[in-house]
Amino acid sequence: MRSIIHAEDLKKELTSRRIKYLFHATTVETSITFLRYGHLFTRGHCENEGYPQLPQWNDEADKKHGIWNDLLLTFHDSHQAQARPNVNGPILFCINSEKLFNHIKENKISVSLTLKQSSTWKENDTDSDRWRNSVAGLFPHEKTTEIALSNLEMGLPLELVDRIIIDNHPGSETFASQVQSIAENCVKGHDLHAGIAIRNSCQAKCKCKDMAYLESKHLEEKYEIGGWSDKYGKIA
């Protein structure tokens, strides 16, 4: 059984390190679902409600490992930190950590910390191989750690998000501006005060400008609308 972390302990650790944001990156299709319905949902919730989301290669593993109904957050923007496109998708939700922990407390959301990224878990890993039992020793290993939020009835409301960043597509000059326009249209009527910005600068060595890298990592499909194409059309 996984260990549940005291949310206040994690909040204090983030505050002491002046970490203002936590991050969730995903695909265009799944992002449109989040924006249309006003929440960041778990993959299990989207499946149960029939909401459009892009199938992921590790979906079956997530179900087996008991995290299908969790929302996973990271401590960093991996595009910036690792100079490459985010493997989870080109839309990054920047979640205000103070607002988040207030929401966690008010809604009795459970918080867990992985020892390593869930996508690297193996079948024979034990719970102690997968989960931290406290915040002790988290730093400087936060780049390989994820925060798993469970007991989420309706996901996280968009009001917790301070900023949404859209990555460019190296093969399309219009991709980011089209997605930005769709995103701004989707959030009308929702309590979202976040800016929806295009990522205009990153490291000179960043592989996000390399189409061959994008294709070799099977990322290109994550830049497509998919289930929302009837409403918004394909992105050029």
Q: pLDDT tens-digit profile of 152-175?
A: 988 999 999 999 999 999 999 999
Give me the percent of the chain exceeding a pLDDT of 70. Answer: 100
Question: Domain tally for the chain?
Answer: 1
The predicted pLDDT at position 7 comes to 95
Q: What is the DSSP string of 92-156?
A: EEEEEHHHHHHHHHHHT-EEEEBSS-GGG--TT--HHHHB-SSSTT-TT-GGG-EEEEE--SS-E
**Is 236 domain-assigned?**
no
Distance of CA 207 to the CA centre of its chain: 20
Reported as a single tens digit per residue, the pLDDT across 194-219 is: 789 999 888 889 999 999 999 888 89
Q: Beta-carbon neighbour count of residue 166 at 10 Å?
A: 22
Q: Is residue 74 part of a domain?
A: yes
Tell me how far apart the alpha carbons of residues 141 and 7 are, in angstroms, rounded to a whole number: 18
> Is 1 a domain residue?
no
Percentage, residues of the chain above pLDDT 90: 77
Please state the length of the chain. 236
Q: Which residues contact 106 (CB under 8 A, 6 or more apart)?
A: none
- Helix H or strand E encompassing 144: none
pLDDT digits (tens, 9 = 90+) for 55-112: 888 889 899 999 999 999 999 999 998 999 999 999 999 999 999 999 999 999 999 9
Residue 69 domain flag? yes
Query: Does a structural domain hold residue 203?
Result: yes
pLDDT at 193: 74
pTM of the model: 0.95
pLDDT for the residue 27: 96
Measured between alpha carbons, how far is 145 from 55 in angstroms, rounded to an integer? Answer: 23
pLDDT confidence band for 188 (50 / 70 / 90): confident
Which domain, by its residues, includes 200? 7-231
